[in-house]
Amino acid sequence: MRYNTVFFDGYGTLFDKTFDALYETCQIIVDDLQLPATKEAFLHQWDRYFFPLLHAGDFVPFWDAHILSLQKVFADLRVQANAENYVFDLFDAFGRVPAFCDVKPTLAALSHVQTGVISNADHGHLTAALHANSLHFEVVVSSESARCYKPHPEIFATALKTRAAAPAQTLYVGDSQDDDIIGAKRAGIPIAWLNRTGTTRNAHIPVPDYEINSLPELLDIVEGKATA
């Protein structure tokens, strides 16, 4: 066996429909406030304020980052609205997103290795989504519990310490180029990039150790039967 521990990203890797939840919330906001914008344009404006909050200065929980960034968008648009109400509904949706159909069969086939989750998420909605899908992991590390976000290596180090796992014998699986590939590389952990849609890797992203299109491909990798 090449790897005895496998850590998974959460949203986009284990859980589907994340963007559906975001777009649905944005459409509700656009409709409620009668804004001259598409849901895609609104989300783009929201993201402009949201992502800098995750990676600058002191740690800001996911919940707070969503509310603060949405309040800035409302201020730009000069509208009066309660950001917390919309974020509450969004986080409720985050806690109910479905797992991809290949998740449970793959986890069953990996029952002989240690598994865990490392996710940029608040602990509450992450564990709610795991529970909603009847997924059980030995380790669940959220950005909230680690007090940092991927690609910061400390969130990976927290997971490794929890299982006393050796980086060289640990495989990380994630779909995000910036958060997962860069983060795992910084932490010194082999990365299997889950590229379900055949996306082209961006020029600034290092080459992942493995590139897979579906989770069952992990089985040969874990057993050392796949070439890096």
pLDDT, mean of residues 137-146:
96
Rg, Å, the chain Cα set: 18
The 8 Å CB, 24+ separation contacts for 19-24 are 20/97, 21/90, 21/93, 21/94, 21/97, 22/90, 24/93
Asked whether the predicted pLDDT for residue 182 surpasses 70, the reply is: yes
Measured CA angle at 4 (ends 156, 176), to 5 deg: 40
Asked whether the predicted pLDDT for residue 28 surpasses 80, the reply is: yes
- Per residue in 94-111, pLDDT (tens digit) is 999 999 999 999 999 999
Q: Which H or E run includes 33?
A: helix 18-33
Q: Which residues of 23-45 are buried (b: 16+ CB within 10 A; e: fewer)?
A: bebbeebbeeeebeeebeebbeb
Name the burial class of residue 57, with classes exposed (0-12), middle (13-18) and buried (19+) by CB atoms within 10 angstroms of its CB. exposed
pLDDT value, residue 163: 87
Amino acid identity at 164: A
pLDDT value, residue 165: 86
pLDDT band at 228 (very low <50, low <70, confident <90, very high): low
pLDDT band at 43 (very low <50, low <70, confident <90, very high): very high
Measured CA angle at 137 (ends 133, 139), to 5 deg: 135
| CA–CA separation, 54 and 66 (whole Å) | 10
pLDDT value, residue 145: 97
pLDDT value, residue 225: 84
Could you tell me if 79 and 33 are in contact, meaning their C-beta atoms sit under 8 angstroms apart? yes
| CA–CA separation, 141 and 148 (whole Å) | 10
Could you tell me if 139 and 7 are in contact, meaning their C-beta atoms sit under 8 angstroms apart? yes
Closest residue by Cα to residue 26 from 64, 81, 78: 81
